[in-house]
Structure 1
Amino acid sequence: MKKILYIGLLFFFCLFGIAGRETEAQKNMTANSSEVITLGGGCFWCTEAIFREVRGVEKVESGYAGGSTTNPTYEDVCSGKTGHAEVVQITFNPQLITLEKILQIFFVTHDPTTLNRQGADSGTQYRSIIFYRNNQQKAVISKVIDELKKLKAYQKPIVTQIVPFNSFYRAENYHQDYFQQNPEESYCRIIINPKLEKFRKVFRENLKK
């Protein structure tokens, strides 16, 4: 089922050109311009590991966003009382990868139809969420989601939250680049590694050399 979902969504994106479209603003950006988007799709270890391999992505940081607690710790967020979600903050070069492609990867590599849950990870900190920084980003996000809904890419409604960016709190150092630092840890072997293998097959043209 997961394999079918990966391939099916890729087909939808390619067929209708969602991933390849660029706005005029993106075309006119200088080569030195960078853009930032903040995404939450479950455990940030998984999401970070995926986007670290994407060509055009310059920086990925795991952290917390969307809540009311200032400078939360991992333990605080896991309590479910802070309102924060586990997220990754992605800095990318729009000349090498578009926001549409970033979102394509995001939607294909997590389940946006499960409320406050990704697999066995349950709680509001694991909710599907996108933080936009300007109206241009918001429009792109809405357009991609509208296309997915129109194409009935999922059997259940998309519950991904789309909210304005407020603040990002970088997670503790031991969470950064967790997969690369702990490849033999059970969660990495059982959960992250299989997801990465599927991602690499579907998006092989977008991998860093």
Structure 2
Amino acid sequence: MKQIVLAGGCFWGVEAYFKRIKGIIQTKVGYTDGTTINPSYQEVCTGRTYHVEACELIYDEQVISLEKILKHLFSIIDPTILNRQGNDVGTQYRTGIYYEDESDAQVIRDFIQKEQANYEQMIVVEVKKQTTFYDAEEFHQDYLTKNPMGYCHVNLYRIPKEDLKDEYR
């Protein structure tokens, strides 16, 4: 099993999207890349902690590659917009890829370099070594399953059928 942390705007949609994909074993939403210890959602929303809303993925690299995960991420974000996705605006909604394994850094950078050819503007997705990840409050975990009519900037129906876990087909 491997781990990667992704930020793509509001973490509710990112988690709901990735938990449906074959090879993703576990998802958890939280806060990363900030300046305070164990922030609350309210503190993160002020923008003063500089944390980003993120989703930690545990995945089976024998089933899904990091590159495929990145393709999925880029299908649900606009990687050229800084500090905004959908209607969500602020530094906590910036996009990012936070790796644990040093060998993943080059895969990520190569992927972004190839993707840049598809965009006129520069890709502004952060790529950093993972720092501390703080779990979001229980209320936010698996939010869109608990609240199916909740706001989501991510189109959950964009996942190709062949990539869906059986229970989501």
Would the TM-score normalized by the shorter structure come out above 0.5? yes
Of stretches 67-76 and 129-138 in structure 1, the one that deviates more from structure 2 is 129-138
Residue type of the partner of 1:161?
E
Q: Secondary structure at the match of 1:131?
A: strand
Aligned counterparts, 1:110-189, within 5 A: 110-149=77-116, 152-185=117-150, 187-188=151-152
**Number of residue pairs matched by the alignment:** 166
**Bigger relative CO (Cα 8 Å, ≥ 6 apart):** 2
1:204 Cα shift?
1.6
1:138 Cα shift?
0.2
Distance in 1, Cα, partners of 2:86 & 2:143: 19
Q: Secondary structure at the match of 1:90?
A: strand
Structure 1 unpaired stretches of 5+: 1-33
The structure in which a higher percent of residues are helix is 1
Larger Rg: 1
- Verify: 1:46 aligned to 2:3, yes or no: no
Distance in 2, Cα, partners of 1:54 & 1:112: 21
Which 4+ stretches in 1 moved above 2 angstroms?
none
Show the counterpart of 1:204.
161
Identity over aligned residues, as a percent?
A: 42
The normalised TM-score by structure 1 is 0.77
RMSD: 1.0
1:155 Cα shift?
2.4
The structure in which a higher percent of residues are strand is 2
Residue type of the partner of 1:68?
T
